[in-house]
Amino acid sequence: MDRVESLLSQMTLEEKVGQMTQVAVDLIMEGEPYNMKLPLKIQPDKLEKVVKKYKVGSILNTPSGVYVGRKQWHEIMQAIQNTAAENRLKIPVLYGIDAIHGANYCEGATLFPQPVAMAASWNLDLAKRIAEITAYEAKSASFHWNFSPAMDIGRNPLWPRMWESFGEDVFLNEKMGLVTVEGYQGNNPAAKDKMAACLKHFTGYGLPQSGKDRTPAYIPERQLREYFLPAYEANFDAGAMTVMVCSGEINGVPVHASKRILTDILRKEMGFEGMVVSDWEDVKYLYTRHLVAHDYKEAVKISVEAGIDMCMTAMDLEFADHLLELVKEGAISEKRIDESVRRILRLKEQLGLFEKSVFEPNDYPDFGSEKFAAVSLQAAKESLVLLKNEKNTLPLSKNTKVLVCGPTANNLRSLNGGWTFTWQGERADQIEKKENTILAAIQKTIGAANVQYEKGTDFFKEENIDAAVKAAAQAEAIVVCLGETSYTEQMGSFNDLDLPDAQVKLVEALSKTGKTLIVVLAEGRPQVIRRIEPQSSAILGAFLPGMKGGDAIASVLFGDFNPCGKLPFTYPAYSNNLTTYDHKYTEEVLTNELYGPYWDPQYEFGFGKSYTDFEYSNLKISGKEFSKTDKIEIAVDVKNTGKMAGKEVVHLFVRDLVASVTPPVKRLRGFEKIELKPGETKTVKFQISPADLAFVGIDNQWVVEPGTFRVMIEKLSAEFDIE
């Protein structure tokens, strides 16, 4: 008998429901949850209760609001695992953490661009490297399990977690997910520098109808299958070990209560054999928020029957009590419990926890190193998207006298977003002292004597716009840094995608000075900038580029780096026109006489400028007609016709000209990032198969229909037929 089966055969029911319970680390510390006592200390009787009495399978998170160093993490982990080792069966505790842009809960760890920024870099190698470093640094603090990557596609830019995704496109999300999972897990997740990935939040989280976090999504079967499942499925097939359930509801059914999603689709259709964890307190929410259960006990029954393996109860242990009772009463079978416990034990085994669950910080000499910081800087640079550059305003010469203004100019919060030291990232500037804000980086780049700073306005409230206007008299160019502060989840739910009035006013007032105006957008979602776009000579998008964001922005503004990021989402021009790039033809062909065309974004998905020019030619397809088993080869030449070396992202879009379900105008089916010296040409080759042309048909099954398909790369296009 293998270890898992042998353990399972010895376990009492209490031990089993304990394994299925996951609590926040707060429950073992001195102080109250959400209000830790400092200095941080484990409270022995609490530890005994959680690990010995309840025998929980997993602990998560950082003690609320407290930023912890590796030495202290080591002590905490040692205490937890030593206590677990005193239990009869010595089952180690699995530790989970949200390290979504680096091991952010561990003092001194390297912080990277957020996922949406990595998507904007379109650089899969860099995304993989970042995941590898994250796993290395996280493991040095004995975190075994990362609640990342999010595979929720961000189809609604109002949604406050859009930036935790890889943008609006399913193909891009899938590819970014694959390299991230590979980076975290490698081929041996038990290795000292690897950890388990957790795809989240399965599924349909990214399309709340109201745009607000954890509010209802209405997703028809066809869209669910076409947009919300594929990135998960590809990553399950590639070995992602765990998945977290979506906190929202789809078509009136909370996902935590949906047997159809968590069992029929996830297990039976997709064949996922890994472990399913609930999201934070979400089982409880079935009776406190969603109102589909009368009490906690009924909520436990519903969610376990639906298919969760582990409950992130977070702040209580009642889940275990209720589950125990339910099994004793015969309401849930022990066989059902065994299925979950088997998956949990298997995960622990695959992570090597029975052999080693606490890791020595000293075994990680590269933790927080310059080498890792350099990767973060490169990623930040590649994530920046040059959206406008009228008359080559940028790059500025380093002799320019610059006025820097705006609410995002002098803080790290706006560059890092949430999950930065703390959940909401609100202490980024208090904790991090050595990294540069945009202002500091500009001062460093062109000398403080060339830089004036007047904030002008806060995010929503004007401060002193007049002072900024006055200061502009001495300046040759104004860099106005606009955008958002850090947030995640409900704290980022808002009512209006328009750039706040105070920020618009600042731009309007500054534009009257006649000085060259450069806008830097530091934001987690595309706020509508239609009213200020005409006044700006250049616009640079910085979608949470991380700790090195300030340096990266300065390097683009002053020509040390040639921008090469491209939008991973459609940048809307109107807050009520949030059409995605892969819309239907009706959404594009129609026009209203008064208001103009239906399809009218500020900037299209995939858009981003460079300081050099790229010319596309020779688009070739390997044939005119293909059978359903053929491979289709597509090639295009890209030449750098400008004077600067640069990177270019080559996008392959495909359009099905006629189909039995209205076809989208285009869908991304390939991309490659290449680097070209001035005058250099490269041939970029893609290979697709007819399966890549499939869609979810009338009967909600994937189908490839014969017909004509159009391949589109930049402005070139060519067609072929599938027989």
Determine the Cα–Cα distance for residues 566 and 64; give it in Å rounded to an integer: 36
Smaller CB separation from ligand BGC, 60 or 265: 60
**Residue 121 or 422 with smaller CB distance to ligand BGC:** 422
CB of 23 to ligand BGC, least distance (A): 12
Residue 74 Cβ vs ligand BGC, minimum distance, rounded to whole Å: 21
As a whole number of angstroms, the distance between CA 385 and CA 521 comes to 10
| Least distance CB 100 / ligand BGC (angstroms) | 8
Q: How far is the CB of 60 from ligand BGC (least distance, A)?
A: 6
Minimum CB distance to ligand BGC smaller for 114 or for 389: 114
State the Cα–Cα distance between residues 522 and 177, nearest whole angstrom.
24
Q: How many CB atoms lie within 10 A of CB 461?
A: 10
Active-site choice (279, 309, 551, 656)? 279
If the CB atoms of residues 243 and 632 are measured against ligand BGC, the closer one turns out to be: 243
Task: Pick the closer one to ligand BGC by CB: 59 or 326.
Answer: 59
Nearest of 339, 314, 336 to residue 327 by alpha carbon: 336
Q: At its nearest, how many Å lie between ligand BGC and the CB of residue 161?
A: 8
Q: Which helix (H) or strand (E) holds 380?
A: helix 370-383
Q: Are 206 and 156 in contact (CB under 8 A)?
A: yes
Strand ranges for 147-301 from DSSP E: 196-202, 242-245, 249-250, 253-254, 275-277
Distances (CA, A) of 72 to 42, 61, 68, 212, 364: 10, 14, 6, 37, 16
Q: Among residues 604, 121, 569, which one has the least CA distance to residue 377?
A: 121
CB-based contact 510:479 (threshold 8 Å): no
The residues, ordered by sequence, that sit 6+ positions from 458 with a Cβ below 8 Å of its Cβ are 407, 502
Q: Enumerate residues 6+ apart whose C-beta is below 8 A from 553.
A: 384, 438, 441, 442, 520, 540, 542, 545
* DSSP code per residue over 163-174: GGTT-S-HHHHH
Shortest separation between residue 98's beta carbon and ligand BGC, angstroms: 5
Q: Which residues pair with 519 in a beta bridge?
A: 480, 539
Q: Is residue 279 annotated as part of the catalytic site, yes or no?
A: yes
User: Measured from the CB of residue 61, what is the shortest distance to ligand BGC in angstroms?
Assistant: 5
Residue, CB closest to ligand BGC = 147
Cβ nearer to ligand BGC, comparing 257 with 638: 257
Residue 700 makes CB contacts below 8 A (sequence gap 6+) with 221, 222, 225
Q: Mark 622-642 as b/e (b = at least 16 C-beta within 10 Å).
A: eeeebeeeeebebebebbbeb
User: Which residues make up the interface to ligand BGC (CB under 6 A)?
Assistant: 60-61, 98, 147, 200, 247, 279-280, 489
Which stretch of DSSP H or E encloses residue 477?
strand 477-483
Contact present, 375 and 109 (Cβ < 8 Å): no
CA dihedral (173, 175, 181, 186) in degrees, to 10, reads -170
Secondary element (H or E) of residue 520: strand 516-522
Q: Of 136 and 147, which CB lies nearer to ligand BGC in the complex structure?
A: 147
Shortest distance in whole angstroms from residue 248 CB to ligand BGC: 10
CB of 105 to ligand BGC, least distance (A): 10
* Bridging pattern class, strands 516-522 and 275-277: unpaired
Q: Which is nearer to ligand BGC, 170 or 312 (CB)?
A: 312
Q: Would you say 131 or 542 has its CB closer to ligand BGC? A: 131
Report how far residue 236's alpha carbon sits from residue 181's, in angstroms, rounded to the nearest whole number: 10
CB atoms within 10 A of CB 295: 12
Catalytic residue IDs: 279
